[in-house]
Amino acid sequence: MRKWVAGACLLYVLYGLFFYWYLFMAGDSSVPEALKGTSADPATFMNERELMLTEDYSKIKDFLFFIRIPFEWFLFFILLIAGLSQKMKHWAEHTSKRRVIQIAAYVFGLFLIVTAASLPLDWISYRFSLDYGISTQTTASWIKDQVIDFWISFPLTAGAVIVFYWLMKRHEKRWWLYAWCLTVPVTLFLFFLQPVVIDPLYNDFYPLKNKKLEHDILKLADQADIPANHVYEVNMSEKTNALNAYVTGIGANKRIVLWDTTLNKLDEPEILFIMAHEMGHYVMKHVYIGLAGYLLLSLAGLYAVDRLYKWIISRHGRELHIKGGTDLAALPLLLLLIGVLTFAASPFSNAVSRHQEKAADQYAIELTENKKAAVATFQELSKAGLSEANPPLLVKIFKYGHPTIMERIQSVENALDQ
């Protein structure tokens, strides 16, 4: 056990050192010579202080992102190899004779451990965003969001685990397929509920107050043949200085949402460009395509989890203190595999997302025909969020669901020069 723990610790430290070296020493985020002095060059729209803050904050933020991802995997492995997961299972079995309550108790204990262990990293990330002027959120509000996250994630995860273990027991060979069949309606249902049930737990949403701007946005929507009666704004200025807008929900609960920071910091032509971008997602049905892609990817993922899960238990079950596939103590292994495969698939899903975002940008350019507003919007997005215009390659591959600011500005210039 000591060798396994020591090896896991060493691997995690080497992983962290690699990304520290890559982000702070080797990663290239410089502006290509051909773009220096153009509208895509941050030096043309940021002052020296903004450039320095952007570089420093981006490196810290990206480093925390990369070391946070495998931290839970490391924690799950330690729980398994040290036999702590088995002890947690025995404790859960003493809480009730009912299997459902035992699983819920185990998941609750596991969530408490993961939340407590991850809290320092999450707190450091919050404090850095506060120190660099990105976050405006009070400590009390931040804690409230952490509590909401816990009480949303815990029942959903507990319900999923209860169903998954029941399926494993009843259908050992095909549990992953039946589990996927159940995730389809559940995912659609949650996506339908998110705008009206989940999102309002974190922030206040209300119809756009600026009626003239709403009229202009709805007029733009009419040009795009989009049925729309309302645009919503959300009071994100209580939590951040960053800018954003998005489309969420499906069916009758579909919403176009503007952060109030976007309304406060951008001019109307720039806001209309952002709205045209979101309308592009609607017209090209990116929400539904994204949902379909997620569901297909989750089918392949569950199959891969099943194969790896059974292979690891057959080869290393004794070392990991796992008695079989339906052993509740094996849950950390299941979650570890899901996390690793999700991260491994992120370059593909991010690439698809960047393609959709680029298409939505192109649609917005064609709809508004306002090059100046498009360029100014991307520049303001970069300044408000202290986002690097040209991040290092690994950051882009694993983290960016949007094209980089430099790529987006270049696309505007190229589209309108043709």
Residue that the structure tokens 């509920």 belong to: 193
- Output DSSP code: residue 237: G
Give residue-wise pLDDT tens across range 195-237: 888 889 999 998 888 889 988 888 888 887 877 667 889 999 9
In this prediction, the residues of the chain whose per-residue pLDDT falls under 50 are 418
Q: The tokens 């507990």 sit on which residue?
A: 158
Is 90 among the domain residues?
yes
- Residues 383, 50: contact at Cβ < 8 Å? yes
Token pair listed for 335: 């979650």
Is the residue at 348 inside a domain? Answer: yes
* Dihedral sign of CA atoms 255, 353, 221, 189 in order: negative
CB 138 within 8 A of CB 130: no
**Distance (Å) of CA 239 to CA 209, 242, 255:** 20, 9, 21
pTM (predicted TM-score): 0.91
Q: What is the pLDDT, as a whole number, of residue 253?
A: 74
Instruction: Kindly report the backbone phi and psi dihedral angles of residue 329, in degrees, each rounded to the nearest multiple of 5, phi listed first.
Output: -65, -15
The whole-number pLDDT of residue 341 equals 95
pLDDT of residue 228: 66
Instruction: State the average pLDDT for the chain.
Output: 91
Q: Position of tokens 């520290």?
A: 20
Q: Are 354 and 402 in contact (CB under 8 A)?
A: yes
Number of structural domains (the chain) is 1
- The pLDDT score that the predictor gives to residue 106 is 96
In a domain, 272, yes or no: no
What pLDDT, on a 0 to 100 scale, did the predictor assign at position 267? 93
Among the options 62, 233, 361, 388, which is catalytic? Answer: 361
347 lies in a domain? yes
Number of helices and strands in the chain (H, E) = 14, 4
- DSSP string for residues in 188-236: HHHHHHIIIIIGGGTS-EEE-S-HHHHHHHHHHHHHTT---S--EEE-G
3-state DSSP assignment of residue 341: helix
Give the per-residue pLDDT at 184. 86
pLDDT tens by residue, 45-95:
999 999 999 999 999 999 999 999 999 999 999 999 999 999 999 999 999
Domain residue limits at 386? 2-23+47-202+286-417
Task: Answer yes or no: 50 catalytic.
Answer: no
Respond yes or no: is residue 361 known to be catalytic. yes
Strands of 55-212 (E only): list them.
205-207
Task: Let me know if residue 235 belongs to a domain.
Answer: no
**Residue 271 placed within a domain:** no
For residue 310, tell me if it sits in a domain.
yes
Q: What is the pLDDT of residue 237?
A: 93
Spatial distance between the Cα atoms of 339 and 254, rounded to a whole number of angstroms: 29
Q: Is residue 224 part of a domain?
A: no
Active-site annotation holder among 278, 306, 388, 407: 278
